[in-house]
Amino acid sequence: MMIKVFFATTILILCYCPVFSQNLNTRKLIVVTFDGYRWKDVFRGADSALLFAAAKGRKDSAELINNFWGKDERERRKKLMPFFWKTFGIKGQVYGNRDLGSNVNVKNKYWFSYPGYNEIFTGYADTIINSNDYPANPNITVQEFINKQPGYRNSVAAFTSWVAFERILNKKRSGLLINSGYTALEGNNLTETEKVLSQEQFLIPKPMGPHERPDAITYFLAKEYCKQNHPKFLQISFIETDAFGHQNKYDQYLESAHNCDSMLKDLWDYIQSDPFYKDQTTLFIATDHGRGDGEDWTHHNRQTPGSDKIWFAVIGPYTLPLGETKNQQVYQNQYAKTIAALLGLDFTSPHAIGEIIENVIKKKQKL
């Protein structure tokens, strides 16, 4: 009788613990962020007023319009981000199309970058983080948490175009490998490609200033590091969409988004070609804040409506292929716990943080 009770209890426990069972979760995870990339551009494609205004100042205006304009929103968004819509839009999950009632918002009250990234990676909309110049983050990020878990120690890395991530991820306390802004990649076993990219960044123009590195340098450094070191958790954070937005260069904003989409494709193709990552890796895409509309599109802050409206997408071997989601509300402070859950981990905090986004971790059966 006692044996029967034991087995019955064991079965019940197994049935009611699906989230944190490692064999039901992805094993590796890559988070890619687009800084300040508007939900309207993602879901509707190029904004006609901004596109045609930007084209007037270019000699190749016809080419620009042909590259990004189309007869309807679906054609325009596919021109802007062909890989994203062919892949995430069909085989993954995409959140934030407010035309379908899919709402994603930040929880923090500031609506700009440092508070946004803190919220993404800690799950806590901390009111004391009220400036992009805020010092080292006092909150524990999900990266730092993952780096302390069995099997993940020294297997977490971040490559970011914006130098502020050294503070956001608290490089000194966390001990994470973080290569941000115009900083050389250091190490004893660098490949020739890593050495060249690391040197090249200092020899090219700085169109976004001294603290924001071109996204292509960031991406290919990250990819080369992946090929050599195979981290189990990788963050890649782009900056150009936000930088060109602030400069009122909508044409370069679109071109940067399009180029980042190309890099996403290259990343996904690499993941599927490397046995270490193939069929074991989830790709999570997010943005830190929104932007205004019309003449206010260059701005984002509490006084600029629309700056709190964001989006995200996810694709992976056990994530249901729901495509575009409808009629729901999700918040940025739910990302951190969801990211950890995708790895079978339970991320906790001394602060109140957002709950897991349930649809993201509902598993499809692996055949």
CATH code at 277? Answer: 3.40.720.10
**In this structure, are residues 269 and 65 in contact, taking their beta carbons and an 8 Å threshold?**
no
* Residue 57, pLDDT score: 82
Considering the domain boundaries, does residue 13 fall inside one?
no
Pairwise CA distance, residues 197 & 217, whole Å: 7
State the pLDDT at residue 363.
72
pLDDT at position 160 is 98
- Side-chain half-sphere CA neighbours of 105 within 13 A: 13
Strand stretches in 181-326, DSSP E: 233-237, 281-287, 312-315, 323-324
Taking the C-alpha atoms of residue 178 and residue 156, their distance in angstroms, rounded to an integer, is 9
Query: Token pair of 202, please?
Result: 């200092």
The whole-number pLDDT of residue 364 equals 59
The answer to the question of residue 16 being in a domain is no
- CB atoms near residue 110 (< 10 Å): 24
- How many domains is the chain partitioned into structurally? 1
pTM: 0.92
Adjacent-strand bridge partners of 177: 157
Strand bridging mode 156-160 / 233-237 = parallel
Give the torsion through C-alpha atoms of 108, 113, 117, 120, to 10 deg: 50
CB 78 within 8 A of CB 85: yes
Q: 319 forms bridges with which residues in the sheet?
A: 363
Beta bridge partners of 93: 314, 323
Q: Is residue 18 part of a domain?
A: no
* 12 lies in some domain: no
Q: Is residue 8 part of a domain?
A: no
Q: Does a structural domain hold residue 270?
A: yes
pLDDT at position 188 = 86
Integer-rounded Cα radius of gyration of the chain? 21
The answer to whether 169 and 178 are in contact (CB under 8 A) is yes
Q: 3-class DSSP state for residue 233?
A: strand
Q: Are strands 102-105 and 281-287 parallel, antiparallel or unpaired?
A: unpaired
Mean pLDDT by 10 residues, the chain (367 residues): 42 39 70 98 98 93 97 98 98 98 98 98 98 98 98 97 98 98 93 95 94 97 97 98 98 98 98 97 98 97 97 95 97 98 96 96 63
Q: Which of 200, 281, 286 is nearest to 238 (CA)?
A: 286
**Residue span of the structural domain in which 227 resides:** 24-361
In a domain, 143, yes or no: yes
CB 212 within 8 A of CB 238: no
pLDDT for the residue 19:
43
SS3 at position 162: strand
What residues does 254 pair with on adjacent strands?
A: none
Does 339 fall in a domain?
Answer: yes
SS (H, E, C) 267-318: HHHHHHHCCCCCCCEEEEEEECCCCCCHHHHHCCCCCCCCCCECCEEEECCC
Distance between alpha carbon 220 and the CA centroid of its chain, in Å? 16
